[in-house]
Chain A
Protein backbone atom coordinates (compact mmCIF):
# COMPACT_ATOMS: atom_id res chain seq x y z
CA UNK A 1 0.00 0.00 0.00
CA UNK A 2 1.38 3.41 -0.91
CA UNK A 3 2.02 6.04 1.73
CA UNK A 4 -0.84 8.11 0.32
CA UNK A 5 -3.24 5.19 0.68
CA UNK A 6 -2.04 4.72 4.26
CA UNK A 7 -2.57 8.44 4.79
CA UNK A 8 -6.19 8.15 3.67
CA UNK A 9 -6.76 5.20 6.02
CA UNK A 10 -5.13 7.02 8.95
CA UNK A 11 -7.17 10.12 8.15
CA UNK A 12 -10.37 8.07 8.15
CA UNK A 13 -9.37 6.71 11.57
CA UNK A 14 -8.79 10.20 12.93
CA UNK A 15 -11.99 11.55 11.35
CA UNK A 16 -14.20 8.77 12.74
CA UNK A 17 -12.71 9.14 16.24
CA UNK A 18 -13.06 12.91 16.26
CA UNK A 19 -16.62 12.93 14.93
CA UNK A 20 -17.90 10.08 17.09
CA UNK A 21 -16.29 11.44 20.25
CA UNK A 22 -17.29 15.06 19.47
CA UNK A 23 -13.67 15.92 20.03
CA UNK A 24 -13.27 19.67 20.00
CA UNK A 25 -10.44 21.53 21.72
CA UNK A 26 -12.48 24.74 21.81
CA UNK A 27 -15.40 23.17 23.67
CA UNK A 28 -13.07 21.11 25.89
CA UNK A 29 -11.30 24.27 27.06
CA UNK A 30 -14.33 26.54 27.30
CA UNK A 31 -16.35 23.83 29.12
CA UNK A 32 -13.54 23.53 31.62
CA UNK A 33 -13.16 27.27 32.12
CA UNK A 34 -16.91 27.86 32.43
CA UNK A 35 -18.26 24.71 34.06
CA UNK A 36 -15.15 22.85 35.27
CA UNK A 37 -16.23 19.99 33.00
CA UNK A 38 -13.40 17.67 31.96
CA UNK A 39 -15.45 15.21 29.90
CA UNK A 40 -14.09 16.00 26.41
CA UNK A 41 -10.83 17.31 27.84
CA UNK A 42 -10.29 13.95 29.57
CA UNK A 43 -10.56 12.16 26.23
CA UNK A 44 -8.06 14.57 24.68
CA UNK A 45 -5.66 14.15 27.60
CA UNK A 46 -5.95 10.38 27.34
CA UNK A 47 -5.13 10.53 23.63
CA UNK A 48 -2.14 12.76 24.37
CA UNK A 49 -0.58 10.71 27.17
CA UNK A 50 -1.08 7.40 25.37
CA UNK A 51 0.55 8.91 22.31
CA UNK A 52 3.46 10.20 24.42
CA UNK A 53 4.06 6.64 25.62
CA UNK A 54 3.99 5.04 22.18
CA UNK A 55 5.96 7.85 20.53
CA UNK A 56 8.65 7.59 23.18
CA UNK A 57 9.14 4.05 21.87
CA UNK A 58 9.22 5.39 18.34
CA UNK A 59 11.85 7.94 19.41
CA UNK A 60 13.90 5.21 21.04
CA UNK A 61 13.92 3.22 17.82
CA UNK A 62 14.90 6.14 15.63
CA UNK A 63 11.54 7.67 14.88
CA UNK A 64 12.61 11.03 16.32
CA UNK A 65 13.60 12.13 12.85
CA UNK A 66 9.93 12.20 11.87
CA UNK A 67 8.96 14.45 14.79
CA UNK A 68 8.18 18.07 14.02
CA UNK A 69 10.57 20.01 16.26
CA UNK A 70 10.84 23.57 15.01
CA UNK A 71 12.71 26.33 16.78
CA UNK A 72 10.76 27.90 19.57
CA UNK A 73 10.14 31.41 20.75
CA UNK A 74 7.67 34.02 21.89
CA UNK A 75 5.98 33.67 18.51
CA UNK A 76 4.59 30.35 19.73
CA UNK A 77 2.85 32.04 22.64
CA UNK A 78 1.60 34.93 20.53
CA UNK A 79 0.39 32.91 17.54
CA UNK A 80 -1.02 30.24 19.84
CA UNK A 81 -2.97 32.86 21.79
CA UNK A 82 -4.42 34.29 18.57
CA UNK A 83 -5.42 30.78 17.54
CA UNK A 84 -6.96 30.15 20.98
CA UNK A 85 -9.08 33.30 20.88
CA UNK A 86 -10.08 32.45 17.31
CA UNK A 87 -11.32 28.99 18.12
CA UNK A 88 -13.46 30.24 21.00
CA UNK A 89 -14.88 32.97 18.75
CA UNK A 90 -15.54 30.43 15.98
CA UNK A 91 -16.98 27.88 18.42
CA UNK A 92 -14.67 25.16 17.10
CA UNK A 93 -11.02 24.26 16.78
CA UNK A 94 -9.56 23.57 13.34
CA UNK A 95 -10.15 19.80 13.50
CA UNK A 96 -13.69 20.06 14.86
CA UNK A 97 -14.37 22.60 12.10
CA UNK A 98 -13.36 19.90 9.62
CA UNK A 99 -15.56 17.16 11.09
CA UNK A 100 -18.48 19.55 11.41
CA UNK A 101 -18.11 20.58 7.77
CA UNK A 102 -18.04 16.89 6.84
CA UNK A 103 -21.27 16.52 8.83
CA UNK A 104 -22.91 19.11 6.57
CA UNK A 105 -22.66 22.28 8.65
CA UNK A 106 -22.74 25.50 6.64
CA UNK A 107 -21.83 27.54 9.70
CA UNK A 108 -18.53 25.72 10.11
CA UNK A 109 -17.91 25.97 6.38
CA UNK A 110 -17.78 29.71 7.06
CA UNK A 111 -15.20 29.06 9.82
CA UNK A 112 -13.14 27.06 7.34
CA UNK A 113 -13.46 29.84 4.76
CA UNK A 114 -12.26 32.27 7.43
CA UNK A 115 -9.26 30.02 8.06
CA UNK A 116 -8.42 30.12 4.35
CA UNK A 117 -8.61 33.92 4.45
CA UNK A 118 -6.23 33.82 7.44
CA UNK A 119 -3.75 31.70 5.46
CA UNK A 120 -3.96 34.15 2.55
CA UNK A 121 -3.49 37.22 4.77
CA UNK A 122 -0.37 35.81 6.41
CA UNK A 123 0.73 34.52 3.02
CA UNK A 124 0.74 38.09 1.73
CA UNK A 125 3.18 39.22 4.46
CA UNK A 126 5.27 36.05 4.18
CA UNK A 127 8.39 37.79 2.74
CA UNK A 128 8.69 39.89 5.89
CA UNK A 129 7.71 37.34 8.54
CA UNK A 130 11.15 35.77 8.85
CA UNK A 131 13.10 38.95 9.45
CA UNK A 132 10.53 41.05 11.25
CA UNK A 133 8.54 38.51 13.25
CA UNK A 134 10.16 35.13 13.76
CA UNK A 135 13.75 36.34 14.13
CA UNK A 136 13.19 38.89 16.92
CA UNK A 137 10.91 36.50 18.81
CA UNK A 138 13.18 33.47 18.43
CA UNK A 139 14.51 31.91 21.66
CA UNK A 140 16.04 28.54 20.81
CA UNK A 141 16.48 25.72 18.34
CA UNK A 142 13.88 23.00 18.31
CA UNK A 143 14.17 20.07 20.66
CA UNK A 144 12.18 17.55 22.70
CA UNK A 145 12.33 16.29 26.26
CA UNK A 146 12.92 12.85 24.73
CA UNK A 147 16.41 14.11 23.92
CA UNK A 148 17.25 14.34 27.63
CA UNK A 149 20.10 12.06 28.74
CA UNK A 150 17.69 9.40 30.01
CA UNK A 151 15.74 6.85 28.04
CA UNK A 152 12.77 8.38 26.17
CA UNK A 153 10.20 5.97 27.69
CA UNK A 154 11.38 6.97 31.19
CA UNK A 155 10.79 10.62 30.28
CA UNK A 156 7.37 9.67 28.89
CA UNK A 157 6.39 7.77 32.04
CA UNK A 158 7.49 10.70 34.23
CA UNK A 159 5.46 13.08 32.04
CA UNK A 160 2.38 10.85 32.14
CA UNK A 161 2.71 10.52 35.92
CA UNK A 162 2.87 14.30 36.29
CA UNK A 163 -0.17 14.74 34.01
CA UNK A 164 -2.17 12.13 35.95
CA UNK A 165 -1.32 13.80 39.27
CA UNK A 166 -2.18 17.26 37.92
CA UNK A 167 -5.44 15.93 36.47
CA UNK A 168 -6.27 14.25 39.78
CA UNK A 169 -5.46 17.43 41.72
CA UNK A 170 -7.71 19.56 39.51
CA UNK A 171 -10.66 17.15 39.28
CA UNK A 172 -10.31 16.24 42.97
CA UNK A 173 -10.33 19.90 43.95
CA UNK A 174 -13.43 20.53 41.83
CA UNK A 175 -15.18 17.54 43.32
CA UNK A 176 -14.35 18.55 46.87
CA UNK A 177 -15.50 22.08 46.13
CA UNK A 178 -18.87 20.94 44.75
CA UNK A 179 -19.38 18.44 47.54
CA UNK A 180 -18.51 21.00 50.20
CA UNK A 181 -15.63 18.96 51.56
CA UNK A 182 -13.13 21.77 51.72
CA UNK A 183 -12.28 22.85 55.22
CA UNK A 184 -11.39 26.54 55.34
CA UNK A 185 -8.76 25.83 58.00
CA UNK A 186 -6.94 23.33 55.80
CA UNK A 187 -3.42 24.26 54.84
CA UNK A 188 -2.64 24.55 51.12
CA UNK A 189 -0.54 21.39 51.24
CA UNK A 190 -3.26 19.41 53.01
CA UNK A 191 -5.82 20.70 50.52
CA UNK A 192 -3.60 19.74 47.59
CA UNK A 193 -2.95 16.29 49.03
CA UNK A 194 -6.65 15.68 49.73
CA UNK A 195 -7.54 16.82 46.20
CA UNK A 196 -5.06 14.35 44.69
CA UNK A 197 -6.46 11.52 46.82
CA UNK A 198 -10.05 12.33 45.85
CA UNK A 199 -9.07 12.87 42.22
CA UNK A 200 -7.16 9.58 41.97
CA UNK A 201 -10.08 7.73 43.57
CA UNK A 202 -12.42 9.31 41.02
CA UNK A 203 -10.07 8.42 38.19
CA UNK A 204 -9.83 4.81 39.39
CA UNK A 205 -13.60 4.55 39.79
CA UNK A 206 -14.27 6.12 36.39
CA UNK A 207 -11.77 3.82 34.70
CA UNK A 208 -13.34 0.79 36.38
CA UNK A 209 -16.81 1.75 35.21
CA UNK A 210 -15.52 2.48 31.71
CA UNK A 211 -13.81 -0.91 31.42
CA UNK A 212 -16.79 -2.79 32.87
CA UNK A 213 -19.17 -1.14 30.40
CA UNK A 214 -16.97 -2.24 27.51
CA UNK A 215 -16.32 -5.78 28.65
CA UNK A 216 -19.97 -6.60 29.16
CA UNK A 217 -20.56 -6.97 25.42
CA UNK A 218 -20.48 -4.56 22.51
CA UNK A 219 -23.64 -3.61 20.69
CA UNK A 220 -22.44 -2.85 17.15
CA UNK A 221 -25.53 -0.91 16.17
CA UNK A 222 -25.11 1.27 19.23
CA UNK A 223 -21.45 1.81 18.37
CA UNK A 224 -22.43 2.97 14.88
CA UNK A 225 -25.44 5.06 15.83
CA UNK A 226 -24.51 6.65 19.15
CA UNK A 227 -21.73 9.09 20.02
CA UNK A 228 -18.68 7.57 21.67
CA UNK A 229 -17.27 8.23 25.08
CA UNK A 230 -14.44 10.76 24.45
CA UNK A 231 -12.05 8.31 26.14
CA UNK A 232 -12.83 5.71 23.47
CA UNK A 233 -12.07 8.31 20.82
CA UNK A 234 -8.91 9.24 22.71
CA UNK A 235 -7.70 5.64 22.58
CA UNK A 236 -8.60 5.43 18.88
CA UNK A 237 -6.73 8.66 18.11
CA UNK A 238 -3.63 7.45 19.97
CA UNK A 239 -3.69 4.10 18.15
CA UNK A 240 -4.09 5.79 14.77
CA UNK A 241 -1.29 8.27 15.55
CA UNK A 242 0.96 5.37 16.57
CA UNK A 243 0.35 3.54 13.31
CA UNK A 244 0.81 6.75 11.36
CA UNK A 245 4.18 7.58 12.91
CA UNK A 246 5.33 4.06 12.02
CA UNK A 247 4.25 4.62 8.43
CA UNK A 248 5.12 8.25 7.90
CA UNK A 249 5.44 10.78 10.71
CA UNK A 250 3.62 12.88 13.24
CA UNK A 251 0.17 14.21 12.54
CA UNK A 252 -0.20 17.89 11.68
CA UNK A 253 -3.25 19.66 10.32
CA UNK A 254 -2.80 23.36 9.57
CA UNK A 255 0.26 22.84 7.34
CA UNK A 256 -1.32 20.18 5.12
CA UNK A 257 -4.54 22.19 5.06
CA UNK A 258 -2.56 25.17 3.81
CA UNK A 259 -1.05 22.76 1.28
CA UNK A 260 -4.56 22.09 -0.07
CA UNK A 261 -5.25 25.82 -0.27
CA UNK A 262 -1.97 26.39 -2.12
CA UNK A 263 -2.72 23.50 -4.47
CA UNK A 264 -6.15 24.97 -5.21
CA UNK A 265 -4.64 28.40 -5.91
CA UNK A 266 -1.98 26.83 -8.14
CA UNK A 267 -4.60 24.83 -10.00
CA UNK A 268 -6.57 28.00 -10.72
CA UNK A 269 -3.50 29.83 -11.98
CA UNK A 270 0.20 30.08 -11.19
CA UNK A 271 -0.18 33.87 -11.29
CA UNK A 272 -2.83 33.69 -8.59
CA UNK A 273 -0.55 31.46 -6.52
CA UNK A 274 2.43 33.77 -6.99
CA UNK A 275 0.35 36.70 -5.83
CA UNK A 276 0.39 35.15 -2.34
CA UNK A 277 4.05 34.43 -1.54
CA UNK A 278 3.25 32.35 1.56
CA UNK A 279 1.04 30.02 -0.45
CA UNK A 280 3.61 29.88 -3.24
CA UNK A 281 6.17 28.76 -0.62
CA UNK A 282 3.72 26.15 0.68
CA UNK A 283 2.78 24.90 -2.79
CA UNK A 284 3.20 21.12 -2.65
CA UNK A 285 3.02 20.36 -6.37
CA UNK A 286 0.79 17.38 -5.63
CA UNK A 287 -1.01 15.62 -2.80
CA UNK A 288 1.41 14.99 0.06
CA UNK A 289 0.80 12.28 2.70
CA UNK A 290 -0.18 14.94 5.25
CA UNK A 291 -2.75 16.28 2.79
CA UNK A 292 -3.97 12.71 2.28
CA UNK A 293 -4.64 12.48 6.02
CA UNK A 294 -6.79 15.63 5.79
CA UNK A 295 -8.79 14.11 2.91
CA UNK A 296 -9.19 10.88 4.87
CA UNK A 297 -10.22 12.86 7.97
CA UNK A 298 -13.07 14.51 6.05
CA UNK A 299 -14.11 11.15 4.57
CA UNK A 300 -14.02 9.45 7.98
CA UNK A 301 -16.01 12.20 9.65
CA UNK A 302 -18.53 12.10 6.78
CA UNK A 303 -18.94 8.31 7.10
CA UNK A 304 -19.33 8.58 10.86
CA UNK A 305 -21.95 11.32 10.50
CA UNK A 306 -23.88 9.33 7.89
CA UNK A 307 -23.87 6.07 9.91
CA UNK A 308 -24.94 7.99 13.00
CA UNK A 309 -27.80 9.59 11.07
CA UNK A 310 -26.32 13.00 11.87
CA UNK A 311 -25.39 14.16 8.40
CA UNK A 312 -27.51 17.14 7.44
CA UNK A 313 -26.79 19.99 5.08
CA UNK A 314 -27.49 23.09 7.09
CA UNK A 315 -27.08 26.59 5.72
CA UNK A 316 -25.70 29.18 8.11
CA UNK A 317 -28.24 31.57 9.55
CA UNK A 318 -27.79 35.32 9.66
CA UNK A 319 -28.17 35.34 13.43
CA UNK A 320 -24.71 33.84 13.90
CA UNK A 321 -23.18 37.11 12.70
CA UNK A 322 -19.55 37.41 11.73
CA UNK A 323 -18.15 35.28 14.56
CA UNK A 324 -17.55 32.13 12.47
CA UNK A 325 -15.62 33.97 9.77
CA UNK A 326 -13.66 36.22 12.13
CA UNK A 327 -12.87 33.27 14.41
CA UNK A 328 -11.73 31.30 11.38
CA UNK A 329 -9.53 34.18 10.20
CA UNK A 330 -7.90 34.39 13.64
CA UNK A 331 -7.30 30.62 13.60
CA UNK A 332 -5.73 30.82 10.14
CA UNK A 333 -3.49 33.73 11.10
CA UNK A 334 -2.62 32.16 14.48
CA UNK A 335 -1.78 28.82 12.87
CA UNK A 336 0.77 30.59 10.65
CA UNK A 337 2.21 32.85 13.34
CA UNK A 338 2.56 30.14 16.04
CA UNK A 339 3.06 28.09 13.80
CA UNK A 340 0.68 25.15 14.14
CA UNK A 341 -2.92 24.54 15.17
CA UNK A 342 -4.56 22.71 18.07
CA UNK A 343 -3.57 19.27 16.78
CA UNK A 344 -0.06 20.28 15.72
CA UNK A 345 0.78 21.88 19.05
CA UNK A 346 -1.61 20.72 21.78
CA UNK A 347 -1.76 17.12 20.60
CA UNK A 348 1.26 16.26 18.43
CA UNK A 349 3.55 18.90 19.97
CA UNK A 350 2.75 18.03 23.58
CA UNK A 351 2.73 14.28 22.91
CA UNK A 352 6.18 14.50 21.36
CA UNK A 353 7.26 16.74 24.28
CA UNK A 354 8.42 19.33 21.78
CA UNK A 355 9.43 22.62 23.38
CA UNK A 356 7.74 24.54 20.59
CA UNK A 357 4.57 22.44 20.90
CA UNK A 358 4.39 23.03 24.65
CA UNK A 359 5.03 26.79 24.34
CA UNK A 360 2.50 27.21 21.53
CA UNK A 361 0.09 24.91 23.39
CA UNK A 362 0.31 27.20 26.43
CA UNK A 363 -0.42 30.10 24.09
CA UNK A 364 -3.52 28.34 22.75
CA UNK A 365 -4.81 27.59 26.27
CA UNK A 366 -4.18 31.19 27.40
CA UNK A 367 -5.91 32.52 24.28
CA UNK A 368 -8.85 30.18 24.80
CA UNK A 369 -9.07 31.30 28.43
CA UNK A 370 -9.04 34.98 27.44
CA UNK A 371 -11.56 34.32 24.67
CA UNK A 372 -13.88 32.44 27.03
CA UNK A 373 -13.68 35.16 29.67
CA UNK A 374 -14.32 37.91 27.13
CA UNK A 375 -17.08 36.19 25.17
CA UNK A 376 -18.90 34.53 28.02
CA UNK A 377 -18.84 37.31 30.61
CA UNK A 378 -21.78 37.06 32.96
CA UNK A 379 -24.21 39.93 32.37
CA UNK A 380 -24.64 42.34 35.26
Chain B
Protein backbone atom coordinates (compact mmCIF):
# COMPACT_ATOMS: atom_id res chain seq x y z
CA UNK B 1 0.00 0.00 0.00
CA UNK B 2 1.43 3.39 -0.86
CA UNK B 3 1.70 6.45 1.25
CA UNK B 4 -1.65 8.06 1.47
CA UNK B 5 -1.87 11.76 1.18
CA UNK B 6 -4.12 12.06 4.08
CA UNK B 7 -5.47 15.24 5.35
CA UNK B 8 -3.01 17.93 6.02
CA UNK B 9 -4.13 19.75 9.05
CA UNK B 10 -6.22 22.32 7.31
CA UNK B 11 -8.01 19.80 5.19
CA UNK B 12 -8.52 17.64 8.24
CA UNK B 13 -9.94 20.47 10.19
CA UNK B 14 -12.11 21.45 7.28
CA UNK B 15 -13.34 17.88 7.21
CA UNK B 16 -13.74 17.82 10.95
CA UNK B 17 -15.64 21.04 10.93
CA UNK B 18 -17.25 20.26 7.61
CA UNK B 19 -20.36 18.99 9.28
CA UNK B 20 -20.98 22.55 10.27
CA UNK B 21 -19.89 24.03 7.00
CA UNK B 22 -16.48 25.32 8.04
CA UNK B 23 -18.03 27.42 10.73
CA UNK B 24 -17.53 26.11 14.21
CA UNK B 25 -20.35 28.12 15.59
CA UNK B 26 -22.48 31.08 14.98
CA UNK B 27 -23.45 33.14 17.93
CA UNK B 28 -25.81 35.98 18.48
CA UNK B 29 -29.44 36.35 17.52
CA UNK B 30 -30.70 33.93 14.87
CA UNK B 31 -27.30 32.31 14.61
CA UNK B 32 -28.12 29.22 12.56
CA UNK B 33 -26.76 30.12 9.22
CA UNK B 34 -24.22 27.45 8.29
CA UNK B 35 -24.71 24.75 5.72
CA UNK B 36 -22.64 21.84 4.47
CA UNK B 37 -21.01 23.78 1.63
CA UNK B 38 -18.91 26.12 3.76
CA UNK B 39 -21.49 28.79 3.20
CA UNK B 40 -23.04 31.01 5.73
CA UNK B 41 -25.69 33.67 5.38
CA UNK B 42 -25.44 37.03 7.10
CA UNK B 43 -28.61 39.07 7.06
CA UNK B 44 -28.64 42.85 7.39
CA UNK B 45 -31.88 44.33 8.57
CA UNK B 46 -32.24 47.89 9.90
CA UNK B 47 -28.46 48.13 9.69
CA UNK B 48 -28.06 45.23 12.13
CA UNK B 49 -26.27 41.99 11.31
CA UNK B 50 -27.64 38.55 12.08
CA UNK B 51 -25.72 36.61 13.28
CA UNK B 52 -23.48 39.04 15.08
CA UNK B 53 -20.50 36.69 15.03
CA UNK B 54 -19.21 33.50 13.46
CA UNK B 55 -16.56 31.09 14.67
CA UNK B 56 -14.52 29.74 11.77
CA UNK B 57 -11.45 27.51 11.63
CA UNK B 58 -8.33 29.65 11.27
CA UNK B 59 -6.86 29.84 7.77
CA UNK B 60 -9.91 28.49 6.00
CA UNK B 61 -12.22 29.88 3.38
CA UNK B 62 -15.87 30.42 3.97
CA UNK B 63 -18.45 31.62 1.50
CA UNK B 64 -20.55 34.35 3.00
CA UNK B 65 -23.90 35.31 1.54
CA UNK B 66 -24.72 38.89 2.51
CA UNK B 67 -28.46 39.38 2.42
CA UNK B 68 -29.66 42.98 2.55
CA UNK B 69 -33.23 43.30 3.74
CA UNK B 70 -33.09 47.06 4.02
CA UNK B 71 -34.32 49.55 1.45
CA UNK B 72 -30.87 51.17 1.16
CA UNK B 73 -27.52 49.81 0.02
CA UNK B 74 -24.85 48.65 2.46
CA UNK B 75 -21.10 48.85 1.81
CA UNK B 76 -19.11 46.34 3.83
CA UNK B 77 -15.40 46.41 4.61
CA UNK B 78 -13.18 44.20 6.73
CA UNK B 79 -10.06 44.82 8.78
CA UNK B 80 -8.29 41.63 7.69
CA UNK B 81 -8.54 41.35 3.90
CA UNK B 82 -9.44 43.68 1.05
CA UNK B 83 -13.12 43.02 1.34
CA UNK B 84 -15.26 45.68 -0.28
CA UNK B 85 -18.80 44.53 -0.87
CA UNK B 86 -21.71 46.64 -1.94
CA UNK B 87 -25.06 45.00 -1.32
CA UNK B 88 -27.94 46.79 -3.10
CA UNK B 89 -31.24 47.07 -1.23
CA UNK B 90 -33.24 43.85 -1.14
CA UNK B 91 -30.49 41.85 -2.83
CA UNK B 92 -27.84 39.28 -1.87
CA UNK B 93 -24.14 39.26 -2.69
CA UNK B 94 -21.90 36.24 -2.21
CA UNK B 95 -18.19 36.52 -1.37
CA UNK B 96 -15.51 34.02 -0.42
CA UNK B 97 -13.73 35.15 2.70
CA UNK B 98 -10.37 33.76 3.80
CA UNK B 99 -10.18 33.71 7.56
CA UNK B 100 -6.74 34.78 8.86
CA UNK B 101 -4.34 32.12 10.11
CA UNK B 102 -3.85 34.01 13.32
CA UNK B 103 -6.72 33.29 15.68
CA UNK B 104 -8.61 36.27 16.97
CA UNK B 105 -11.62 38.46 16.34
CA UNK B 106 -11.93 40.17 12.96
CA UNK B 107 -14.58 42.68 12.09
CA UNK B 108 -16.66 43.27 9.00
CA UNK B 109 -18.17 46.74 9.29
CA UNK B 110 -20.85 48.53 7.40
CA UNK B 111 -19.81 51.94 6.16
CA UNK B 112 -21.87 54.83 7.38
CA UNK B 113 -22.02 53.83 11.01
CA UNK B 114 -24.39 50.92 10.67
CA UNK B 115 -23.69 47.63 12.41
CA UNK B 116 -20.88 45.13 12.11
CA UNK B 117 -20.29 41.46 12.58
CA UNK B 118 -17.33 39.53 13.87
CA UNK B 119 -15.44 36.62 12.39
CA UNK B 120 -13.84 34.68 15.20
CA UNK B 121 -10.85 32.83 13.77
CA UNK B 122 -10.41 29.77 16.00
CA UNK B 123 -7.44 27.36 16.02
CA UNK B 124 -9.68 24.40 15.29
CA UNK B 125 -6.74 22.08 14.69
CA UNK B 126 -5.80 22.07 18.36
CA UNK B 127 -9.38 22.38 19.52
CA UNK B 128 -10.09 19.21 17.65
CA UNK B 129 -7.16 17.36 19.25
CA UNK B 130 -5.25 14.51 17.70
CA UNK B 131 -8.21 12.28 16.88
CA UNK B 132 -8.40 13.62 13.37
CA UNK B 133 -8.48 10.32 11.57
CA UNK B 134 -11.90 9.70 13.01
CA UNK B 135 -13.31 11.97 10.35
CA UNK B 136 -12.10 9.97 7.43
Contact = CB atoms under 8 A, between A and B. Distances in A.
Contact of A68 (B1, B9, B55): B9
A20 to B, nearest CB: 25
Interface string A37-58: 0000000000000000000001
Given A135-B104, A142-B125, A256-B131, 19 more contacts: A68-B130, A69-B9, A70-B123, A71-B123, A130-B123, A130-B124, A131-B122, A134-B126, A135-B121, A138-B102, A138-B123, A254-B131, A258-B129, A258-B131, A284-B131, A284-B134, A288-B133, A290-B131, A290-B134
A292 to B, nearest CB: 10
Interface of B: 1-9, 16, 24-25, 55, 58-59, 101-104, 120-136
A-B pairs, top 5 by smallest CB distance, nearest first, are A255-B131, A284-B134, A255-B130, A130-B122, A252-B130
Contacts of A282: 128-129, 131, 134
A254 B124 contact: no
A289 interface: yes
A356 B134 CA distance: 21
Contacts of A65: 5-8
Nearest to A290: B133
Contacts of B9: 68-70, 142
The DSSP consensus for interface residues of chain A is helix
14 contacts: A66-B4, A66-B5, A66-B6, A68-B9, A70-B9, A131-B55, A135-B120, A138-B103, A141-B101, A255-B131, A256-B131, A284-B135, A288-B135, A339-B126
A71 B125 contact: yes
Nearest to A287: B134
A127 interface: yes
B133 A249 contact: yes
B110 to A, nearest CB: 23
A356 B129 CA distance: 12
